[in-house]
């Protein structure tokens, strides 16, 4: 009986070991053998069994729908709700109230910041043998303090409004090809560059300081160098410098606060050279503020000259700013057929 009982004890114990081993084997083997299941890595993060991580990230990024370009009513309601949630009431209306809100701390002016850059050659500067500049592409203090954001008078934030209007009005897609005439310090252009695919933003700009600000400060500080915009220095409306490959044509050409500063004759030279580079049907030219280059000729003569170029005037549009009391007038042109 003891042997039996001993044996009785010994047999179930062996069985138990065998069953446990089988169960463990099945537990570890089955998921790996099953083709449709995710394998679990040692960190516990589930990874697709069949495709490497890089491929998954790349394909999901490529398949992602583009970011929206216009603000919706829901966006504004959400913003209001967040202001409420954080108990951020109306902003102060007097200098004293602003001062109180700053708790007595005064913001440093651009001039003061610039003075520091000059005095200390940077912010956390090296001394002695290490005093040589360690910055890869040193940016002048004048640009670092963003003086160029005020170069053209209008608030920097207005660049986003212009982008949203133009992108909406032209039905912009990331793959579109866009030309800005006179992009200045990229107040508007930055938003296009961010939205468009690589190398799809072109600009012709004549001003040295604006170009310096664009290349040495705006593109690097906005993380947009990888977008490789084609920004060319010139003032003669010479677009041959852009050399469009494979008969590519512009989906959108715009001049924001530029044509009003140009002689009419030069604007017409530009339109002549651009007519064949604008995509027939979809392509649009938008000009802000006024079209005196046209109205000074009289409407019939203007229409005739546009017609000779295969272009037509579509109409006038207005758009409001989201952030400040301002509206802008835009004039739309197109090339009906090839
Ligand atoms: C008022 S700023 C507007 C800049 C930019 N479009 C914006 O909205 O912020 C006018 C710009 O047009 C440029 N410009 C004027 N005439 C030009 C020309 N003939 N060729 C290229 N750029 C020109 C100026 O240098 C300046 O950057």
Host H or E run for residue 201: strand 201-205
pLDDT at 36: 33
Q: How far apart are CA 18 and CA 161, in angstroms?
A: 72
Exposed/middle/buried for residue 52 (C-beta within 10 Å: 0-12, 13-18, 19+): exposed
In angstroms, what is the span from residue 256 Cα to ligand 1's centroid? 8
Q: How far is the CA of 227 from the centre of ligand 1 (A)?
A: 22
| CA quadruple 204, 207, 208, 211: dihedral, nearest 10 | -50
* pLDDT of 117: 87
Pick the atom of ligand 1 nearest to 184's CA. 27
Cα gap 175→198, rounded to integer Å: 9
Secondary structure (3-state) at 167: helix
Residue nearest to atom 9 of ligand 1 (CA): 187
Give the Å distance between the CA of 261 and the centre of ligand 1: 8
DSSP 228-239: --EEEE-SS--G
Backbone phi, then psi, for 332, in 5-degree steps? -110, 135
Of ligand 1's listed atoms, the one at least distance from the Cα of 266 is 19
- Structural domains of the chain, with CATH: 155-334 (3.40.50.150)
Through-space distance between the first and last CA atoms of the chain, rounded to whole angstroms: 104
Residue 23 has what pLDDT?
A: 53
Mean pLDDT, 10 residues at a time, over the chain (338 residues)? 39 52 48 35 33 36 77 96 97 94 90 89 75 81 95 93 97 97 98 98 98 98 98 97 91 97 98 98 97 97 98 96 94 94
Closest C-alpha to 11, from 284, 3, 295, 324: 3
Tell me how far the alpha carbon of residue 259 lies from the centroid of ligand 1, in angstroms: 8
By residue count, the chain amounts to: 338
The residue whose CB lies within 8 Å of the most ligand 1 atoms, and thus the one to mutate among 184, 235, 269, 286, is: 184
């Amino acid at each position: 009986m003891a042997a039996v009982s001993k044996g009785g004890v010994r047999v179930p114990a062996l069985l138990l070991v065998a069953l446990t081993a089988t169960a463990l084997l099945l537990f570890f083997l089955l998921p790996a053998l099953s083709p449709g299941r995710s394998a679990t890595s040692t960190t516990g993060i589930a990874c697709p069994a069949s495709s490497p991580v890089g491929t998954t990230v790349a394909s999901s990024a490529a398949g992602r729908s583009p970011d929206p370009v216009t603000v919706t009513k829901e966006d504004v309601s959400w913003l209001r709700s967040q202001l409420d949630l954080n108990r951020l009431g109306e902003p102060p209306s007097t200098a004293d109230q602003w001062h109180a809100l700053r708790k007595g701390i005064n913001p440093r002016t651009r001039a003061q910041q610039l003075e520091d850059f000059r005095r200390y050659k940077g912010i956390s500067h090296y001394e002695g043998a290490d005093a040589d500049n360690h910055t890869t592409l040193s940016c002048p203090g004048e640009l670092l303090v963003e003086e160029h954001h005020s170069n053209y008078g209008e608030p920097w934030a207005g660049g986003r409004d212009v982008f949203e209007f133009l992108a909406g009005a032209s039905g912009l897609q990331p793959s579109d090809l866009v030309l800005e005439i006179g992009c200045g310090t990229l107040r508007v252009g930055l938003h296009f560059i961010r939205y468009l695919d690589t190398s799809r933003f072109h600009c012709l700009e004549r001003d040295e300081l604006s170009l310096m600000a664009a290349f040495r400060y705006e593109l690097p500080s906005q993380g947009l160098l990888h977008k490789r915009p084609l920004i060319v220095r010139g003032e003669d409306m010479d677009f041959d410098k852009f050399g469009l490959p494979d008969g590519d044509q512009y989906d959108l050409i715009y001049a924001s606060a530029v044509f009003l500063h140009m002689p009419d004759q030069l604007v017409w030279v530009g339109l002549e050279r651009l007519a064949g580079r604008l995509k027939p049907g979809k392509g649009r030219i938008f000009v802000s503020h006024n079209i005196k280059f046209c109205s000074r000729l009289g409407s019939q003569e203007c229409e005739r000259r546009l017609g000779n170029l295969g272009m037509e005037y579509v109409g006038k549009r207005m758009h409001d700013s989201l952030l400040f009391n301002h509206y802008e007038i835009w004039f739309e042109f197109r090339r009906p057929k090839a």
